[in-house]
Amino acid sequence: MNIFWHELKQYRRSTIVWVLSLCFIVLFFLSLFPVFSKDVETVRKIFESYPVAVRDALNVQIDIFFTLNGFYLFIFTYILLTGSIQAANLGVGIISKEAAGKTFDFLLTKPITRTQLITRKIAAALTLLIVTNIVYLAAAVFTANTVSHGDFEMNIFILISLTLILVQLMFFTIGLFLSAVLPKIKSVVTVSLPLVFAFFIIGMLDSIFGNKVRYLTPFKFYDPAYIIKNGTIEFKFLLIEAIFIVIVTVAVYYLFNKKDISAAD
């Protein structure tokens, strides 16, 4: 448990910053909802003048945009983006920081196996992500309730919000994998930011890739329109994600167990 608590402490400050950022984004954007929904006709005209590709890229679906959940979809893109950076940072950094700080020597000469070390670190990261999502969800539901005066479908809203952690888990796993295969990572953000933005840009190009874009980027993996229509997350995609995470995580354990920890100098 000592490693677990140590990691929680190490990431305490940055996690607070990420949580506050997410809460701020949802609070700020959702509080704009009354402005948009007051003047439906004008806003509709503005959006209709945009090409469909642009609207899709911005995640604006005109037929539902003026409901709270439709509006939430539009801003949720940025919530996902922010949360993904947090998760990718954690994934890339939580093991590789020991290499960058040359503290692997300290940890791995202790009576633990590498598997134990990785497991405890992953457990700490998952805890941080779960805490982030709980606080975020509370803030989001509270704000949604306030701005819509309770006039929205809460369960849909919560389901959409839950895709945040699902997408975060993918980025966390990809980050872990990168930290296992890349040689020494000096700075976490030089890996995590390009990773997240590359996928984000792929996600904006769905007019090129069509529906297949879902398989190319975590950002489009869960279809919120489906959630709004059916009131559930697509099981097939949950399954794909689970399989993806298991395979990559096994690879991460394997790679780290094999790795030589080169001398500090």
Give 149 or 186: the residue with its C-beta nearer to other proteins. Answer: 186
Using alpha carbons, select from 254, 259, 261, 256 the residue that is nearest to residue 103.
261
Cα separation, 66 vs 87, whole angstroms: 31
104-124 residues labelled b (16+ CB within 10 A) or e (exposed): beeeeeeeeebeebbbbbbeb
| Out of 41, 150, 211, 260, the residue judged to bind other proteins by CB under 8 A | 260
Give 115 or 232: the residue with its C-beta nearer to other proteins. Answer: 115
Q: Is 254 in the site for other proteins (CB under 8 A)?
A: no
Other Cβ atoms within 10 Å of 237 Cβ, number: 17
Restricted to residues 76-115, the positions that interact with other proteins (CB under 8 A) are: 101-106, 108-113
Is 30:56 a contact under the CB 8 Å cutoff? no
Smallest distance from other proteins to CB 104, Å: 7
Using alpha carbons, select from 223, 218, 220, 219 the residue that is nearest to residue 241.
218
Q: Going residue by residue from 115 to 154, which x/- string records binding to other proteins, judged by CB under 8 A?
A: -x--------------------------------------
Smallest distance from other proteins to CB 109, Å: 5
Q: Is 258 in the site for other proteins (CB under 8 A)?
A: yes
**Residue 221 has what DSSP assignment?**
T
Q: Is 172 in the site for other proteins (CB under 8 A)?
A: no
**Which residues lie near other proteins (CB under 8 A)?**
2, 6, 10, 101-106, 108-113, 116, 258, 260-265
